[in-house]
Structure 1
């Protein structure tokens, strides 16, 4: 039976090689921007300078916040939101990967609202308070293809002192404008290209397997899965392959649409627990390591859906076809040998990881077709461990 759905995606998306130049002419939502970045690559590669020059072309001033971590934290959300208020910024630009764009969304909320960020988080120790004021407008400029956050309202932030990594979002955290320029992705190293591409893959696969999956989301999910299976190995093995980069970027944006219409399943709850305890663990790497055991456990609940995903990946239309295709894609992208132990993950904490997955993002377990228990999560972790 088909599932009713709503599709609200208000961002104006500029997609394609050279699309960054639209920042110099398209209507902007303010006159002074807080540009949120992380690491040094956007500076080293000249992307920050280009963005500031294009803003200046439109008479828009900018202030830079450059402390975002790969797993962004509440402390920096609060620090950057104070900076936005103190300097009179009236919109926020996330420039970089998912961490910068997610941070921009959360900063936009807190620049316009009282209290602390965790006051508004639902789940874990969050207070779940209503948000009284509309966030500042958000612009997303993605330099990676992994999270799809340029096309959905979601943001994931970690509260370090309690080791909680929780997703959050509502209509006010949709970007007003997003720029997806694959030319900005040509310099992403192979390993990170793979991690990001698998994150996009699992957004699409999980959105297709969730109980709220619908024909609208399924359309985007299956196309994203097909593009990733076909083009991600090319992008990993030849970063200068602009066609491959473009199709992986398009798949990533489609996966964002899937996350807007549908939702992740508990695979993301489990990984968020792992990377909350181990902040150096790249999100995509965590998903890759638990994926085979997770989907082996999940597949009996909807084998016909896994068969369709397998076919989209160019495999035999069956559960085994999907699992074999997943392993083949890992091998083709050079991420089939990842070991949990190399990221500090230890079996003695498996029960704690499982408990955290349910306490912080238990809502995703409610969207599973396969009803997993904490013991099932521990079993998945045990099968994934090396």
Structure 2
């Protein structure tokens, strides 16, 4: 156990079906909100945007809507949203929607009060690494998906389309949400395939956070319980999106994965996926993680098996009944069963237009743009090994 750690999560979390209705009676962190949503139709079509705007107005806050965020959010929209926040005099930012909208809200909150370009402040790749001198506007998070856990961590992931770099960033404590409303009722309309992608994103935040060298007792507890809940309830939510017990379990699993992100970290699997979706923006983040996962975790389980029996146990495997030499390897078959149970076993990288010949370039991007995560792996990967994991992720 890591007995040298920091535990700090300043976000107030309101959790439960119907909790979004409490927005109207809450104290806002400002007087005028920039409400950040995706460029899609779901926030308006499902009435979620109107519900949040009404709640904010009842709480005494004026509102302005910015509705251009892409599934893989880009720095151009961070700049545009920040300019809108400044010109409209917004003094806090609300992220409503999936991880892309909430991540963008955090980045917009930074750039609304700091000069220059967003990439000036990024640590990694071609980022300028400049100190953020003016902090950020307060952020409120209202997720409508169970996936990223960004409502419970300070991190944001944005793509630089010019350099094809997708890099994480955050300020502690400024980009932690002031408060987050996690209402599973807002997640009931997510289609089955997206439910599966998002749930597995949360799963891998937990799994990676558990094997990361910076894991700690709190992150371990959050991670194992998140994996257990996703293994049990994600197939149910994919089968029946109106199953509120399953939706609630997944919402909490996702929030716990955000708590893992706040107390531990992702590992290089996320660096590798960010390379994939930076090169191929149409690839959903959760899909990319799924497609890398069996090759990645098979490799890690072989090289550093110590933590894998507990992960298999969290997924319902009777690890103690297995021979000692099979306990670490039991996690990957359990992972494959979960992927099959959510209907994604036949998915391939090729169907997203990705070619095996790209593996070296993907490896180079992963190891530079978000190279820091490689330092938190339980086993230090070489470039050739990263290339091998990419190649092994393609269909045979």
Report the more deviating stretch, 289-298 or 317-326: 317-326
Off by >4 Å, runs of 4+ in structure 1: none
TM-score when normalising by structure 1: 0.99
Deviations 1:272-304, CA, capped at 9 Å, x for gaps: 000000000000000000100000111134323
How far apart in 2 are the matches of 1:327 and 1:277?
Answer: 26
Deviations 1:67-111, CA, capped at 9 Å, x for gaps: 000000000000000000000000000000000000000000000
How far apart in 2 are the matches of 1:384 and 1:319?
Answer: 20
TM-score when normalising by structure 2: 0.96
CA contact (8 A) 2:92 2:139 kept: yes
Specify the SS of the correspondent of 1:218.
helix
Structure 2 partner of 1:14: 14
How far apart in 2 are the matches of 1:182 and 1:320?
Answer: 34
Structure 1 partner of 2:67: 66
Q: Mind listing any 5+ residue stretches in structure 1 that lack a counterpart?
A: none
How far apart in 1 are the matches of 2:223 and 2:303?
Answer: 19
Are 1:203 and 2:226 counterparts? Answer: no
Aligned residues: 386
How far apart in 2 are the matches of 1:319 and 1:238?
Answer: 33
How far apart in 1 are the matches of 2:143 and 2:303?
Answer: 35
How far apart in 1 are the matches of 2:304 and 2:66?
Answer: 45
Q: Residues 13-32 of structure 1 correspond to what in structure 2 (within 5 A)? A: 13-32=13-32
Identify which of 279, 282, 297 aligns with 1:280: 282
Deviations 1:222-241, CA, capped at 9 Å, x for gaps: 11111111111101111000
Structure 1 partner of 2:228: 226
CA contact (8 A) 1:229 1:313 kept: yes
Are 1:83 and 2:84 counterparts? Answer: yes
Deviations 1:341-379, CA, capped at 9 Å, x for gaps: 111111221100000000100100000011111111111
Deviations 1:34-62, CA, capped at 9 Å, x for gaps: 00000110010000001111111122110
Structure 2 partner of 1:311: 313
Q: Residues 112-127 of structure 1 correspond to what in structure 2 (within 5 A)? A: 112-127=113-128
Structure 2 partner of 1:36: 36
Q: Mind listing any 5+ residue stretches in structure 2 that lack a counterpart?
A: 320-326
Q: Residues 149-298 of structure 1 correspond to what in structure 2 (within 5 A)? A: 149-171=150-172, 172-298=174-300
How far apart in 1 are the matches of 2:131 and 2:231?
Answer: 41
Report the more deviating stretch, 7-16 or 298-307: 298-307
Specify the SS of the correspondent of 2:96.
strand
How far apart in 2 are the matches of 1:13 and 1:220?
Answer: 15
How far apart in 2 are the matches of 1:219 and 1:250?
Answer: 13
Are 1:356 and 2:365 counterparts? Answer: yes
How far apart in 2 are the matches of 1:254 and 1:58?
Answer: 28
How far apart in 2 are the matches of 1:300 and 1:170?
Answer: 35
How far apart in 2 are the matches of 1:321 and 1:148?
Answer: 27
Are 1:339 and 2:341 counterparts? Answer: no
Specify the SS of the correspondent of 1:128.
coil
CA contact (8 A) 2:301 2:329 kept: no
Kindly report the root-mean-square deviation, in angstroms, between the aligned alpha carbons of the 2 structures: 0.8
Identify which of 352, 357, 369 aligns with 2:378: 369
